[in-house]
Structures are given as structure tokens and as C-alpha cells.
Amino acid sequence: MAECHPVGFQWVMEAKARGATVIHVDPRFTRTSALADLHVPLRAGSDIAFLGGLINYVLQNDAYFKEYVVAYTNAATILGEDYVDAEENDGVFSGFDPEDRSYDFHSWQYEGMEVQAASGQRDQQYQDRVAADQKSGVNKAGRGEAHGSGGAAIRGEIKHDDTLRHPRCVFQVLKRHYARYTPEMVEEICGIPQDLFHQVAEALVKNSGRDRTSAFCYAVGWTQHTVGVQYIRAASILQSLLGNIGRPGGGILALRGHASIQGSTDIPTLYNLLPGYLPMPHAHEHEDLDAYIQADSTEKGYWANSRDYMVSLLKAWWGPAATPENEFCFEYLPRLTGSASTYDTVMAQLAGKTNGYFLIGENPAVGSANAKLQRMAMANLDWLVVRDFSLIESATWWKDGPEIETGEMVTDDIKTEVFFLPAAAHTEKDGSFTNTQRLLQFHHQAVEPAGDARSDLWFTFHLGRRIREKLAGSRDPRDRPILDLTWDYPTKGSQDEPEAEAIIAEISGWNAKGEPLSSYQELAADGSTACGCWIYCGVYADGTNQAARRKPAGEQSWVAPEWGWAWPANRRLLYNRASADPEGKPWSERKAYVWWDPDDGKWTGHDVPDFKVDKAPDYQPPKGAKGPEALTGVDPFIMQADGKAWLFVPSGLSDGPLPTHYEPQESPFTNPLYRQQRNPARELHKHENNRLQPSGDEPGAEIFPYPLTTYRLTEHHTAGGMTRWVPYLAELQPELFCEVSPELAAERGLEHGAWATIVTARNVIEARVMVTERMAPLQVAGRTVHQVGLPYHWGPNGYARGDSPNDLTSVALDPNVHIQEVKALACDIRPGRRPRGPDRIALVHEYQQRAGITDTTGTEV
Amino acid sequence: MGVLRESEYDDAPPRMGFFTDTSVCIGCKACEVACKEWNHVPEDGLSFSGMSYDNTRGLGADTWRHVAFIENRSETAPVDLGMPAVGLPGSGDVRPDLPPGGDLLDAEGKLQWLMASDVCKHCTHAACLDVCPTGSLFRTEFGSVVVQEDICNGCGYCIPACPYGVIDQRKDDGRAWKCTLCYDRLEVGMEPACAKACPTDSIQFGPLEELRERAQQRVDQLHEQGVDVARLYGHDPEDGVGGDGAFFLLLDEPEAYGLPPDPVVTTRDLPAMWRRAGLAALGLAAGVVAAAWGRKG
């Protein structure tokens, strides 16, 4: 966190100054480790074993927060008889189809019920509920992030055992699943010595419960794996068992990859989402608004109101053209026929199936997995538009990229027409960031952009305006979705920059009288409200830009509700009902956050209660209750159908209801826990430039004996577009370097300050050598293992130049969210600079041959 | 406040300075960048140094804040694995809420990564100021030492005079350059750019007397927490430069950071040297006179 969020890290230092214990778990010793109380090095790719070890520790030692677990999690829920755990089946759960490489989740259901996922693969049930028998293509359509979380109980009552003893209750299933994740196993898999593991476990347990809470912070070190989502799930189980969710000083904080990536999923730039995590409709037959709502809404919980959210969104986009008669222009929305995720798009480009590409503040030639594949894919386009501050590698690969040097691409033969449009920086435009705390912070233009540089807002608005002008008067129904859009945003200044405030006002929404809305609870399904994103409803309440507020800390409460605006409803801590016990009293005075005031008949406290404000703790729903009314007074997790934190996930995830240790796609180790080596449901893409390496004891694995991990430095930002062209930053970290231990340097003849060549089945790069004790060798599975570290920011352009570590990585993805596994792979490293020209490719082929790599290597389930 | 007696300000504000608490430095280098941006200091070298994460290498004409990165082993006693190794570098004590246990220690002590933002010390007895023949270097009303670039003639006398090796000449224009303690910002009541940018308040700016008190409290606090290696550097008015206007809290010997352990203002011995030279000259003159007188008789 000190490396990647130095300004945010000041709060960790503040907590430390007040007595908090800071534990840093990371394969390398970073600037965070230097300030932490404890650094726990582990083998990259082994965190589920570590977290599973902590879960097992907590369960075996009865160290869980019992009252919290019984009342607020689904620990007591009884599962159906058909469920078979990975523990009983060599590492694979029941319902796996090896042909399709996917799971049918029906055997994971609660006994007697069908549960709709509120997040994850919601549409898995569409087939069951609306259409006739069809093989579900939904996995491929990637409904991963839709809808947040939770599910709908369609019929029946949940069966549960509050004594947690029933053999099929979630608690017992959990215990059996993690029984072999002992401290000894953690040491064997992760390389963490047992006494160090115990230090962490005891500290965590000691600092959880009524009086103390502990928080986990993670970033892409956890998500960029073929089991990335399961990493987060493991932390979620652990924190739920310890009673740390929904409580001050607790929780799991996702530290994001850039300043507004939260915003980029809220108002999405993802192909499968509409604003507010409504799913993009799928091209099922006869799909209309009713069918869409029926498939995706739930009967209990707040997703039951998705019709209100959806209709209001359609009204924001199509205004008066959207009427009840035409289902509010629902048919204008584009439809999914499969996945259009970034890596699927790249594969389609390679196959010649896509013509054009917009890259807006994105540099895949450096920043995406298998950077060479990215460049080769772009060479298949008809046209490419790049918007950035400088001529990034994704704009110049066609004339000076690595493949021109090797001869794999010839500039004159590349037919792609490349447009470069300079972009304005955040200081040159109005706009907002949404950070990991769901906090919107508006920023104001300090100076107009120079020359031809323009903001993304300007570009999008004026592009749309010009297209509409060209289409004006058309009678083709295909043009109506564009012509019927409300596109009358005001502009300002000499450059006709659209007013960002007008847009945020539309996102927040208004009623039929044009009055700004205050809360998503005001949204209606009859067309009387418009709202560009239901979770952001209220950011412009009272006609005031709430996101622009900056009241200093000293002038308000410690929750600081008047700094910016957090969605939803300016609530700062989600699920905060869980900060009070089942009677509505805080678990302790020290950790009081929100509580029930019986005299007032309301929830009150330091934050906006994340609960129906007048729902008493002892509330029981009447029979047949639907939506939020179906949740009881002790259901803090209001986005879930059953109102509970899900220790076990009956539906919504592609790769299992419980996190399970699988080795990364490429690993020098075999999985000691199960015969199943890797995530059976992981997503692979076959291509001759995306060859995979053998692992474990497969022949040829010894050719790539060193685990490799990629990461970031404070001085640079992502793929370098914002930093490698800035002299003051470039000089701080001017060249690509690799980090190796003195022992590895001795073993491979690497010299500090000299060059190293690093090879995988995809490509070979060179880097300066940094020999450091901060990369400590680990003892894993009875032998010493050395890890190689590579910061990934570099490319051949700009002031700070170097090879790109993503040339080494492969496209192997988490199946839920299609995120690349660049945090744990395997490589060889040797002294000296890499070959130039065609010899570079020859070296890669030589390695492939030595390792016996074919087009099927590594692709087995 | 002896330094202000040497200058001639009426109603001078209290002496201002820096206290850099390296125990909370996270090595982010915001100070280096903020300084360069505010003062338009040029980029001065795009090469990999191999000096841990320090590619800046040192203070100079074009680097006025420099973050050092020192990877070494702390001075705790050789380990038996029952000994806890948590807490700040050098700390031998367990934090009260961490149970005892082992860590990745070996016999050489716990791995530590010291990070420290170095800067011009704005000495009480500033040798650069003493030797400047043009009056370009002067003492401001805030007690800081500043080069007036429109007067500096590039003679370079100040360069070897500095006991810390801070001030230096720009090769392309010949003049001497160094940290100004953001004189222009102080004049309008703002703090220096580096102090403003520092996210953890490692760089603290304020009245020097107040900073010295705060620093002593911080060292005492660290000692109470078992961080015995914590010590102040440059805080003592009795030291060889009369104490620094920019002083530090360090977690190791000054040499570990590349700082001189006992800096002395290079002009300190000048009065004594002149006296001796004068005595020698007198002695010589007396000898000549005596010889000439003796001749007569």
C-alpha cells in the first residue's frame, strides 16, 4: 500500500501511531514491509492456502465470533443432499462438466430451495425460469459482476440449524473443507514458517470480536490470478467468521489499480454491465423488459426493485422517447451474444473478426497480459483510435514496436489506420473520481488543455453530436437508438467543453417535475423518474454537487460525511447493521457505530444506517412478503436474498462455492492438497503466441524453475502512460529492473547492476539486476525456491524505457471476471542481455522445444 | 538564536526549519518531485544506480531533496527463534498486542529498509555563507541560507566549504544552487513544497525551537516502545556547525545514511589560524628586527 497508495498509506501510519498492528503479507519486502510490524513473505499464488489456514485455525480453536456467525452469516443453513465438496472429490466440486469446463451449480443449493445470485452469474437461472431447455451459454456471456451480490429464494423456507451441528449445515461443510489447511500445510505450500503463521493467526484473533476489529487491505496481488475471485472470497469468509464485516475498523478494503476504477464499474466501461450493476441484456429469444426483470430481479432484498432502477435509467438515456408503450426503449439497448471481455476481444481481433478499437487511457501493448498478443491483434484491425497524453506504445507498435525489430511484423504490411488524439489531464477538466470507499470526489478544471488536447467527455459528446448530425432525418430503425438519445448537454468555454455538473445531475436523477432526487428509494417504474445510475442517486440532491463538498475533518464527526459523497445514500460503511447485535445494541461501546433507538423507533448512530430505518430488530416478515420487506430485523446483508453473509456461495460463482487452493496456471509445484492441479474452470485462450508451460512434476517444468511475480512501484503508474514521459518521475525509476535474492544471483551468475535475460514460453525480455535480501528464498514442499520480481511499468517509449514484463505473461484468466494471472507464473533467468532481431524469437522457440511445449500443454482441465 | 545576531533584521520572525522524522518516511519521493516542480529544478539523470530504490544518488545543484534507501540488518542481538522480531528497526521488544514468535531472522539481525529524505541543513554556522565572496549567499529573516542567483559569480568557493556536500554548481551555467527552504513560499506564509507534499508528515516545518521539542518527545516515545536505535542528528547547538536549521531523527548511525558523523563548519578554525599566522608573522618580524639590531652592536 505504501508503494501504490502512498497518500492513502498515511492513514495506516496514523492507525499505527494509535496502536494498530500492521501485518504485511507479500512475496517481496516492499516499502510497506519497511513500515509494518510484521512482514510475511509467501510464494506468489499460494494465498488461498494461507487464508484457508487462518480459517481452519479460527474454526479449530473456536476463535470465531459465535453470536455474529449464527445470527448474520449463512453458517446455520443446511445444504442439499447432492452437494459433494472438493475435499471428497480430488479438488473438484459436484456438478463439473469437463467437456464444457464449467459447473452446474444446482447441487450447491440450499436444501429445498433455488437461490438466485445477486452477483456473479445471475443469468444462470434465466434458462430455468424463462426459456426452455438450452445449454447455458451464460458462463461465456460473463455475467460476473452484474447485480452486486445476493440471491432470491423463490419458494420455501431456508432450513437451518442454529446449533451449527447438522452435518450438512454450512458451518460443518466449511470445517471439513478446510480441515487439511493446517499450519504444516501452510508451511509446505506457502513457505511461511509455522511460528510466523501462528503470530499472524493469534494477532488476528486477538484483535477481533466485540471490542476490537481487524481490516484486510488488498489489491491486484490478490485479484490477478486464475483464482482471484476466490482469494477475495477466502478473506470474506475469514472476516465473516471473525465478525469484522460491517463494523468500524473492520472490513475488506480493495485498494484499486487507479484513481477511478470503482467509477469505471459503477458507470461502467465493462461490456456486461449497465450503470449501477444492472446486467447488460442477453440476446435470449423474445427478450423484453418483463422477461429481463423477471430473470434478474430477486424476490427478496433490494434487487427486487430493479424495474425502478432500469426504467429510470432508460428515461435518463432516451427521455421523452422512452414511454410505457415502447417499454421505455428497452429494445434500443445492445445485446450480448457472448463475452466481449477484453481478452475475448483480442482473440476476435486476431481472428480478424473486429474492425475497430478505441483505446482511451489504456496501453495494452505494455499493460495487458501477453503484450505481444495485444500488438499482433491490433495489427489485424482496420482502424485504431488512441487517446492519451503521449505517444504510448499502443499507438506506435506498428513502426517501432518489438515485433518490428524481430521482423515478425513489417510496417508497410500493416493495414491498420491509427489515429492519435491527445487527451486532457484531470487538472484540465471538471469531473469526478470514485474511489474504493465508493466515495465520489468532484474535481475542478484548473486550466484549459493546450493545443488539440481535449477531455474524454468532450470527445464522447462531440463524436455523438457529429454522428447524430450525419444520421439526422434517417428513417432506418437501426438509427433510432442514437437519434432518440437525450444529447442536449450544455457546454462551456472556448472549447465547448460539456458541463460535467450537468451530467452528474442526470446521473443523480430527477422526477417528472425536474426536481433533483435524494435517494434511490424515490425511483419509480412508471417513467416518472430519470436516473443515470441508481446507486448514485442523491449525489446531486437539493441541486447541490454533493461530490464537491470538502468540509475539513476538524469541523465534522469522525465519519466525515461532508467530505465528498459515498454511494449509496452517502453511507460510509456498508452492512453497518452488523455493527449492532441481534437486539440492536452495539457489540461494545468502543465499537458502537449504528444502533436501534427503541424510543424513537429508528436506527441511528454515526453513519447512515444500512438498513430500513424503522425496521425493528425483532421484525419478522409476514408470509408472502417480497423485496426488502421479506428481510427480518437481523438480516444485515440486505443485498442477499437471505440477508446473511455467505460463507458458502450457493450460486453466482463459476468456479466453486468455497475457495480451494489450486496452483497457478504455471507453477514449479504440484498441488499437495488435491489431484486437481489448477482451477478446473479457469479460462484459457489457445493461440500459437499464447503457449503455456508445463507445471509441477510434468516433464519440462524444470525448464522454467523460478516463480515470477509482477508488481508496481511508487514512482510509476500502471503501463507508464502517465509517468514515463514525466522527467521528474522518469528519473526516479529510469530503467526496468528485476529483483532477485543474493542466493539466486549466485545460482544463476547474476551480477548486481548488470543485465539479466528472463524467458517464458511467450517471450524473452532483459532487465537490470537488483540483487537484494528483500527477495528472500522460501522453503516450499521441502526445497528452496527463489522468486523473481519484475515491476511492469516499462515499454520502449518515453524517457524511462525498458522491455515490458507483460511480454512474458500469458492470457490465463479467472473465469468469473476474466482477469489475467500476472501475479504468479514461472520463468527462467540468466545473465546478460537478450538477443536482438530474429534471434530473440529463436531463443523463445528453443525454450519451448526444450520444455516439450505443444498447443495443448497446460490446457488440461 | 545566535544565528540571527549575525544578521541585521528588525522584528525577525522566529527561526524556521525542518524536522525530518525518518521513522515514518515511506520512501515515496513526493518531496523530491514537489521540490523540483515548485523550484523548476531540472531533471538530472536517467540512469539506474543500483543503489536500492535511490536513483537520485545525492544532493546537488539539481537535487535539493534526496531520499536515501539503506538496506541493512538491524543491530539486534543474534537470534534464537523464541525472540520476537516485530516493531520498528532495531527494536528488540515485542509490541504488546503481538504474541511472541519467530520471524525471518538469521544471526545477522532483522532485515530493515531505512528511508530518509535528505536536504540542505541551513546550518547555524554556515561555511558556504562564510566563504562567499560576492554576498550572493545570505541569511534570510527566517534563519535559512539562500543563494541569490543573480549575484552568484560561479567562483565555486562554497562547494568545498560545505561539510555535508550539499551545495553544488550547475555545469551548464556555472552558478551554485541549493535548497532555498522555499523562501518565496515562506514570505507569503506557506510551508515549503516538500513539507506540504509529504503524506506521512515525515517532513515537518515550523519554528525550530518548537520542532526541537517535538523531536525530543518523539525520540523519547520511540525509546519507550523499545526502539533504542532512534536518535536525533543535527539538533544540538553545541555541535560543529552550531546545530542545523534542518535536523533529523535517524534509526541508525549517520554513516549508514551517508551523513558525516561529526560535521564541522570549515571556517571554524579560521580565527585561530589567523591568530597563529599573525603570531608567526610577529615572531618573524621580531626576529628580523632583533637580527638587524644585533648587527649594529
Cross-chain residue pair B101–A799, CB shorter than 8 Å = no
Residues of A in contact with B29 (CB under 8 A): 714-715, 732
Cross-chain residue pair B46–A730, CB shorter than 8 Å = yes
For residue B83, pLDDT beyond 50: no
Q: What is the pLDDT of residue A79?
A: 96
**Distance between alpha carbon B173 and the CA centroid of its chain, in Å?**
25
Query: Of A738, A773, A784, which to mutate for an interface test with B (greatest number of B Cβ within 10 Å)?
Result: A773
Do A717 and A793 meet the contact criterion of CB atoms below 8 Å apart?
A: yes
Do A671 and A635 meet the contact criterion of CB atoms below 8 Å apart?
A: no
Residue with cell 511508487: A714
CA dihedral A662, A667, A669, A675 (to 10 degrees): 40
Q: What is the pLDDT of residue B296?
A: 66
ipTM computed for the complex? 0.92
Residue A603 grid cell: 436506527
**Percentage of the residues of chain A whose pLDDT score is greater than 70:** 94
Q: Report the distance separating Cα A3 and Cα A739, nearest Å.
A: 15
Query: Of B23, B80, B97, B218, which to mutate for an interface test with A (greatest number of A Cβ within 10 Å)?
Result: B97
Chain B residue nearest residue A6, CA to CA? B28
Instruction: Encode pLDDT of A719-742 as tens digits.
Output: 999 999 999 999 999 999 999 999
Lowest mean pLDDT among A747-761, B47-61, B93-107, B153-167: B93-107
CB-nearest partner of B55 from A198, A734, A774: A734
A564-579: average pLDDT: 96
Residue B40 φ/ψ, nearest 5 degrees: 50, 45
Q: How far is CA A782 from CA A180, A190, A663, A779, in A?
A: 18, 11, 17, 6
Q: How many CB atoms lie within 10 A of CB A24?
A: 21
Query: Of B22, B28, B54, B105, which to mutate for an interface test with A (greatest number of A Cβ within 10 Å)?
Result: B28
Do B266 and B163 meet the contact criterion of CB atoms below 8 Å apart?
A: yes
Residues of A in contact with B55 (CB under 8 A): 731-734
A313 — pLDDT class (breaks 50, 70, 90):
very high
For residue B106, pLDDT beyond 80: no
For residue B221, give how far its alpha carbon lies from the nearest alpha carbon of chain A (Å): 11
For residue A121, pLDDT beyond 90: no
For residue A60, give how far its alpha carbon lies from the nearest alpha carbon of chain B (Å): 19
Residue type present at position A634? V
A115 — pLDDT class (breaks 50, 70, 90):
low
- The 8-class DSSP code of residue A91 comes to T
Do A162 and A73 meet the contact criterion of CB atoms below 8 Å apart?
A: no
Cross-chain residue pair B26–A38, CB shorter than 8 Å = no
Instruction: Encode pLDDT of A469-500 as tens digits.
Output: 999 999 999 999 999 999 999 999 999 999 99
Cross-chain residue pair A195–B37, CB shorter than 8 Å = no
Q: Report the distance separating Cα B255 and Cα B27, nearest Å.
A: 19
A627 — pLDDT class (breaks 50, 70, 90):
confident
Residues of B in contact with A195 (CB under 8 A): 81, 101-102
Do A853 and A859 meet the contact criterion of CB atoms below 8 Å apart?
A: no
For residue B96, pLDDT beyond 90: no
B159-179: average pLDDT: 96
For residue A246, give how far its alpha carbon lies from the nearest alpha carbon of chain B (Å): 23
Cross-chain residue pair A39–B104, CB shorter than 8 Å = yes
Q: Report the distance separating Cα A279 and Cα A292, nearest Å.
A: 9
Residue B189 CB partners (closer than 8 Å, separation 6+): none
Q: Report the distance separating Cα B3 and Cα B5, nearest Å.
A: 5
Cross-chain residue pair A196–B29, CB shorter than 8 Å = no
**Between these two residues, A125 and B1, which has the higher pLDDT value?**
A125
Residues of A in contact with B37 (CB under 8 A): 728
For residue B52, give how far its alpha carbon lies from the nearest alpha carbon of chain A (Å): 7
Q: What is the pLDDT of residue A484?
A: 98
Residue A838 CA neighbour count, 13 Å, CB half: 2
Residues of A in contact with B217 (CB under 8 A): none
**Distance between alpha carbon B124 and the CA centroid of its chain, in Å?**
11
Q: Where are the domains of chain B?
A: 6-266, 268-297
Q: Report the distance separating Cα A284 and Cα A721, nearest Å.
A: 40
Q: What is the pLDDT of residue A116?
A: 57
**Distance between alpha carbon A154 and the CA centroid of its chain, in Å?**
29
Instruction: Encode pLDDT of B249-281 as tens digits.
Output: 999 999 999 999 999 999 998 889 999 999 999
Pick the closest to residue A121 from A533, A655, A574, A641 (CA basis): A655
Instruction: Encode pLDDT of B217-238 as tens digits.
Output: 999 999 999 999 999 999 999 9
Q: Report the distance separating Cα A699 and Cα A702, nearest Å.
A: 7
For residue A27, give how far its alpha carbon lies from the nearest alpha carbon of chain B (Å): 13
Q: What is the pLDDT of residue A293?
A: 86
Cross-chain residue pair B29–A715, CB shorter than 8 Å = yes
A303 — pLDDT class (breaks 50, 70, 90):
low
Q: What's the distance, Cα to Cα, between the start and end of chain A in Å? A: 35
Q: What is the pLDDT of residue A117?
A: 58
**Percentage of the residues of chain A whose pLDDT score is greater than 90:** 88
Do A169 and A78 meet the contact criterion of CB atoms below 8 Å apart?
A: yes
DSSP-derived 3-state class of residue A321: helix
Q: Report the distance separating Cα A539 and Cα A545, nearest Å.
A: 7
CB-nearest partner of B97 from A33, A196, A207: A207
For residue A201, give how far its alpha carbon lies from the nearest alpha carbon of chain B (Å): 10
Q: What is the pLDDT of residue B97?
A: 42
Do A718 and A711 meet the contact criterion of CB atoms below 8 Å apart?
A: no
Residue type present at position A496? D
Cross-chain residue pair A34–B102, CB shorter than 8 Å = no
Chain B residue nearest residue A801, CA to CA? B46
Chain A residue nearest residue B50, CA to CA? A753
The pTM score is 0.93
Cross-chain residue pair A730–B43, CB shorter than 8 Å = yes
A472 sits in the region (left: phi over 0; alpha: psi -120 to 50; else beta) called: beta
Q: What is the pLDDT of residue B75?
A: 67
**Distance between alpha carbon B206 and the CA centroid of its chain, in Å?**
16
Cross-chain residue pair A34–B98, CB shorter than 8 Å = no
Q: What is the pLDDT of residue A119?
A: 57
Burial of A472 per CB tally in 10 Å (0-12, 13-18, 19+): exposed
Q: Report the distance separating Cα A463 and Cα A172, nearest Å.
A: 57
Cross-chain residue pair B104–A776, CB shorter than 8 Å = yes
A507-529: average pLDDT: 96
For residue A197, give how far its alpha carbon lies from the nearest alpha carbon of chain B (Å): 9
Residue B210 grid cell: 518548537
**Distance between alpha carbon A311 and the CA centroid of its chain, in Å?**
27
**Percentage of the residues of chain B whose pLDDT score is greater than 70:** 86
For residue A516, pLDDT beyond 70: yes
B91 — pLDDT class (breaks 50, 70, 90):
very low
A285-295: average pLDDT: 78
Cross-chain residue pair B24–A35, CB shorter than 8 Å = yes
The sign one gets for the Cα dihedral A92, A97, A100, A102 is negative
Query: Of B40, B79, B91, B98, which to mutate for an interface test with A (greatest number of A Cβ within 10 Å)?
Result: B98
Cross-chain residue pair B99–A203, CB shorter than 8 Å = yes
Query: Of B200, B202, B217, B252, which to mutate for an interface test with A (greatest number of A Cβ within 10 Å)?
Result: B200
Query: Of A23, A195, A770, which to mutate for an interface test with B (greatest number of B Cβ within 10 Å)?
Result: A195
A150 — pLDDT class (breaks 50, 70, 90):
very low
**Distance between alpha carbon A239 and the CA centroid of its chain, in Å?**
18
Chain A residue nearest residue B27, CA to CA? A31
Residue A742 CB partners (closer than 8 Å, separation 6+): A771, A772, A773
**Between these two residues, A305 and A764, which has the higher pLDDT value?**
A764
Residue A811 φ/ψ, nearest 5 degrees: -90, 100
Q: Which CATH number fits domain B6-266: 3.75.10.10, 3.30.70.20, 3.30.1380.10, 3.20.20.60?
A: 3.30.70.20
Q: How far is CA A158 from CA A78, A110, A149, in A?
A: 8, 7, 18
Residues of A in contact with B109 (CB under 8 A): none
Quick one: which H or E segment has residue A487? none
Residues of A in contact with B28 (CB under 8 A): 2, 6, 31, 714
Instruction: Encode pLDDT of A23-60 as tens digits.
Output: 999 999 999 999 999 999 999 999 999 999 999 999 99
Residues of A in contact with B92 (CB under 8 A): none
Residue A552 grid cell: 475539513
Cross-chain residue pair A732–B29, CB shorter than 8 Å = yes
B100 — pLDDT class (breaks 50, 70, 90):
very low
One-character DSSP codes across A488-547:
---EETTTTEE-HHHHHHHHH-EETT-PBP--GGG--SSSSEE-S-GGGTTTTGGG--GG
Residue type present at position A662? Y
Residues of B in contact with A735 (CB under 8 A): 46-48
Residue A816 φ/ψ, nearest 5 degrees: -80, -40
Instruction: Encode pLDDT of A827-847 as tens digits.
Output: 999 999 999 999 999 999 999
In this complex, how many residue pairs, one in chain A and one in chain B, have their CB atoms less than 8 Å apart? 131
A338 — pLDDT class (breaks 50, 70, 90):
confident
Q: What is the pLDDT of residue A136?
A: 37
Q: What is the mean pLDDT of chain A?
A: 93
Lowest mean pLDDT among A114-128, A173-187, A745-759: A114-128
A11-18: average pLDDT: 96
Residues of A in contact with B44 (CB under 8 A): 731
> Angle at Cα A551 formed by Cα A548 and Cα A553, nearest 5°?
135
Q: How many CB atoms lie within 10 A of CB A856?
A: 10
The sign one gets for the Cα dihedral A422, A427, A432, A435 is positive
Cross-chain residue pair B104–A753, CB shorter than 8 Å = no
Cross-chain residue pair B44–A772, CB shorter than 8 Å = no
> Angle at Cα A40 formed by Cα A37 and Cα A43, nearest 5°?
160
A129 — pLDDT class (breaks 50, 70, 90):
very low
What's the helix, strand, coil split of chain B in %, to 5? 30, 20, 55
Q: What is the pLDDT of residue B76?
A: 52
Q: Report the distance separating Cα A755 and Cα A768, nearest Å.
A: 4
Instruction: Encode pLDDT of A668-683 as tens digits.
Output: 999 999 999 999 999 9
Residues of A in contact with B103 (CB under 8 A): 38-39, 196, 199
Residues of B in contact with A39 (CB under 8 A): 103-104
Quick one: which H or E segment has residue A366? helix A364-367
For residue B114, pLDDT beyond 90: yes
